[in-house]
Structure 1
């Protein structure tokens, strides 16, 4: 299994107890839809397969899991802070009408006053709101993604029209 044949779902954040139980922190949005029989842990830039014995989901984007042949804390400890992957054929299908803020990465941002600003390079999910990052003249321009600022989204053309607050774009022009 290579990185190209897999997709990243999260990382092992800590051990729990003495019997090798691990806590998995998900950075994959639809983690409840994932099929866990085999997962791959990145060790020394290689993906090592592990068979999942048991998994218990929690609401805070975490799960506790037991892996086959990992039944003691001494076997579990080296896996902490390692990235976890699943094979591409385990990627859950999404409804084409299920549009999310993170899907805006790559969209061209057009401001009502300033015109084209650039492409969205990242969308962060912060506790209060989503924040978009745009590569604007070699600088990172950041703005919140909320209904007050978004005028329209064209998924076919991959364009988002916004009306950013006065002075925000000017901060990045110096």
Structure 2
């Protein structure tokens, strides 16, 4: 597994009970069909360390109780508090919108006619309506970036092509 294939998707919050269970928070809202991957990586001293999921239970729309096969006591879990959790990007894209797995800040936005619109300065992952703030020649504008509106993404060039709904770029 290579680091470029992984993406942060949550954080260890605390232990639960005395058998090595952890409570984790997930960035975003868990979809109803969510299934935890067999392998989750906990970032320890900057290095993703693989842990194998023994069982898990969804306890809210953004938190999960999880048991890894190598953690058997509360004491063993203490070193992982506030550590980031990573999973394969392929896994994340199955359950979360494409915008969830990208860091869009500083991407250049183009419309479907390949006209440059501007540069993304902010991303807001509003459930059901993710938006970006784009700095254009005429000032800042907020644009929706749901999966249906993304035409293409070039991560190497940091470009994104969007279907921009009519009227969003007009001067007021």
TM-score, length of structure 2 as denominator length: 0.63
**2:19 aligned partner:** 19
TM-aligned CA distance change 1:56 to 1:21, over 3 Å: same
Preserved contact between residue 10 and residue 85 of structure 2 (Cα < 8 Å): yes
**2:10 aligned partner:** 10
Task: Count matched residues.
Answer: 153
Preserved contact between residue 108 and residue 119 of structure 1 (Cα < 8 Å): no
- The alignment status of 1:155 with 2:170, answered yes or no, reads no
CA RMSD of aligned residues (A): 4.1
Preserved contact between residue 34 and residue 90 of structure 1 (Cα < 8 Å): no
Consecutive unaligned residues of structure 2, counting only runs of 5 or more, are: 153-160
Structure 2 CA distance, aligned partners of 1:49 and 1:72?
Answer: 18
> Which structure is larger by alpha-carbon Rg, 1 or 2?
1
Structure 2 CA distance, aligned partners of 1:4 and 1:101?
Answer: 16
**1:150 aligned partner:** none
**2:133 aligned partner:** 133
**1:64 aligned partner:** 65
Structure 1 CA distance, aligned partners of 2:130 and 2:110?
Answer: 17
**Which piece of structure 1 moves more, 6-15 or 59-68?**
6-15
